[in-house]
Structure 1
Amino acid sequence: MTSSEVQETVNDYYDECQVDYSMMWGTNDHLSMHYGYHDDEHESLEDAVINLTRVVADRAGVSEGDRVLDAGCGVGGSAVWLAQERGARVDGVNINEMQVEKARLGAEERGVEDVSFHVADYTDVPFDDDSFDVVWAVESVCHTDDENSFLREAKRVLKDDGVLVVADGFLGKGRDEMTDDENEGVDAMLEGMAAPSLSTVDEFRDALAEEGFQDTEFEDKYESVYPSARRMYLLTLVTYPVAKLLRILGIRSERQMKHLSASYQQYRMLEKGVWVHGLFYSRS
């Protein structure tokens, strides 16, 4: 697919599947759409999604007055939290107009002023060179077919010695190392979540180096995301019969059904080590 076709697919996915996130993930309450990081002190989903933002913010060293670019900001949860809890000034970009409007409304309802949300592509953002202390990307880079363009743009807008943090999914092994079942599972997962492809951890590390990032570190977050992955899987098992009936009645779309299939496969493939959820940290 061309880049414009990828963007159209991602837009359609979120337009049609936002209802699933609202109903099954509670995004209207906490404004977050990611897996979250579970631990002994953050066992509930709501606590976990907030904890992910906290952990990534600590790793990036976000502090009062820092300017942060939230690249692929979803419905604004991370941006709002960073402004509220860390005193950061945050610009969120997202190609999906509906989600940008939800992010703006969510910030307004919470009385958060130091955030701005823009309809823009994170590979071509409307900001000057050397503008940001941190570029933040949580489960958004998976939606591009050109990671290098994203990294190049992140490098452009970061100040000298600025920080890039990417929390996302990566392949745990190459496609040629996978069984037929694993390849089929990954294909279903990627199609259902509008992700054109995933890099391996090593491939993404190499791309960071190629674009001039340094001091790169990677943390595997398998244990942290496992409870959410399992929750998504169990919800799929429970809701699929009703969803299938709604599909027959024309109430649910084919894309929404593929999203459920992806929710099923992501857990199976995570358990097999076919993909990993990890946190990259690099400096410009």
Structure 2
Amino acid sequence: MTVGSSDMNNDVANFYNGSGTVRVAGKIRDRWGGNLHNGYWHDDNDDAPPEVATDRLTDLMIELLAPQPGQKVLDIGCGIGKPAARLLQAHPVRLVGITISESQVDQARTGAAEAGLSDRAAFEYADAMRMPFPDDSFDAAWALESLFHVPDRAQVLAETARVLRPNSRLAIADFVLRTPISDAGMRAVDRICETFGVHSFSSLDDYTAQLSSHGFKDLDVRDISDNVARTGTLLADAWESVRDQLVENGNSAEVDAMIEATREFTSTPEFGYVLISATLS
């Protein structure tokens, strides 16, 4: 089951290039250690700050990827390159990150240069549904909270399988839907898609079926919904704390919609969050 918005106004490139509510992200990112993905908390008593919790999630992705020295890794939807830098600092691999945001490419390249990683990191403007790479170009790939943005996830998985070499690893962190979906849950899905440039969400069964149909095997799924659930509340609180700084040119409704939609990720029981690893046949 897949639900969501196909409205082309949900332009992911514009969202991440800095138009509309994404300006909020730049004002909050430093509080989250340079990340804007979910954090991981061990339990309710874990009081780790967001910058620690978000790095933990990156570390879990690295663990699933199991990178080997000298491998070439594809980062699908690389953002500004903070998770990529953490991977490169921990393992002697090379990495190519792709995004459809020119702004993110520039920031990722700058960050890699400042960290002394430019010799092993390249960031490119590219569409994940039409990757500009030859077949069998990479030894591993990951997609950290990026696949829910793409108009056609099956096409991205097909492209990923094409550019990966046989027996390569793929690691994914993404939202999934738990069914059945209530009317209130459907309204929340629609609002989140509209606010965050999301194309669609699907059930875990549909997700794993797509992976299998494109040649990925040995699937390992970890449901960490409870461990990441705090993210929406903390992020919404952070944005609300600087709301007055974010409101400009009559955009108060836009800012409030982002804060509300962020909280809905936590309060909507139909949303789950999983880590998936697989091996290409």
For Structure 1 versus Structure 2, the TM-score category normalised by the shorter chain is: 0.7 to 0.9
Which residue number in structure 2 is paired with residue 209 of structure 1?
Answer: 212
* Distance in structure 2 (CA, Å) of the matches to 1:84 and 1:232: 27
Query: 1:192–1:2: structure 2 CA closer, same or farther, 3 Å change rule?
Result: closer
Superposed, 1:106-117 pairs within 5 Å as 106-113=111-118, 114-117=120-123
Where structure 1 has 5 or more consecutive residues not aligned to the other structure, the ranges are none
Which residue identity does 1:52 align to in structure 2?
A: L
Letter in 1 for 2:170: L
Going by fraction, where is helix more abundant, 1 or 2? 1
CA distance 1:178–1:5, shift in 2 (3 Å): closer
Corresponding residue for 1:104?
109
Question: Which is further off, 252-261 or 140-149?
Answer: 252-261
User: What TM-score comes out, normalization by structure 2 length?
Assistant: 0.88
Corresponding position of 2:272? 276
Could you tell which deviates more after superposition, 255-264 or 163-172? 255-264
Structure 1 stretch displaced more, 220-229 or 73-82: 220-229
Match of 2:124 among 107, 114, 118: 118
Question: Residue 154 of structure 1 corresponds to which residue in structure 2?
Answer: 160
Partner in structure 1 of residue 258 of structure 2: 259
In the TM superposition, residue 223 of structure 1 has moved relative to its aligned partner by: 2.6
Match of 1:225 in 2: 228
What's the % identity of the aligned pairs?
28
Shift of 1:213: 1.1
Shift in alpha-carbon separation, 1:118–1:255, aligned structure 2, 3 A: farther
Verify the 8 A CA contact 1:134 1:164 in the aligned structure 2: yes
- Please state how far the C-alpha of 1:185 moved relative to its aligned partner: 1.3
Aligned counterpart for 1:39 among listed residues 39, 42, 48: 42
Native 8 Å contact 2:148 2:200 kept in 1: yes
Match of 2:171 among 159, 165, 170: 165
The number of residue pairs the alignment matches comes to: 272
- Deviation track 1:33-53 (CA, whole Å, cap 9, x = no partner) reads 211222377811111111111
CA RMSD of aligned residues (A): 2.5
Which amino acid counterpart does residue 24 of structure 1 have in structure 2? I
What TM-score, normalized to structure 1? Answer: 0.87
Higher relative contact order (CA 8 A, sep 6+): 2
Whole-Å Cα distance in 2 between the matches of residues 18 and 11 of structure 1? 11
Write the distance in 1 (CA, Å) between the matches of 2:48 and 2:162.
38
User: Deviation string for 1:71-123 (max 9, x for gaps)?
Assistant: 00000012111111111100000000001101111111111121000000111
Alignment of 1:77-88 (within 5 A): 77-88=82-93
Q: Please tell me whether the aligned partners of residues 39 and 54 of structure 2 are also in contact (alpha carbons under 8 angstroms).
A: yes
* 1:66–1:235 CA distance, 2 compared to 1 (3 A): same
**CA deviation vs aligned residue, 1:200-251 (integer Å, no higher than 9, x gap):** 11110111111121111211111321222221243355555x379x35xx15
Per-residue deviation, 1:178: 2.1
Supply the distance in 1 between the matched residues of 2:260 and 2:13 (Cα, whole angstroms).
Answer: 19
Q: Provide the C-alpha distance between the structure 2 equivalents of 1:181 and 1:243, rounded to a whole number of angstroms.
A: 31
Distance 2:240 2:182 in 1: 24
Query: Which residues of 2 match residues 18-33 of structure 1 at below 5 A?
Result: 18-26=22-30, 30-33=33-36
Equivalent residues of 1:243, 1:252 under 8 A apart: no
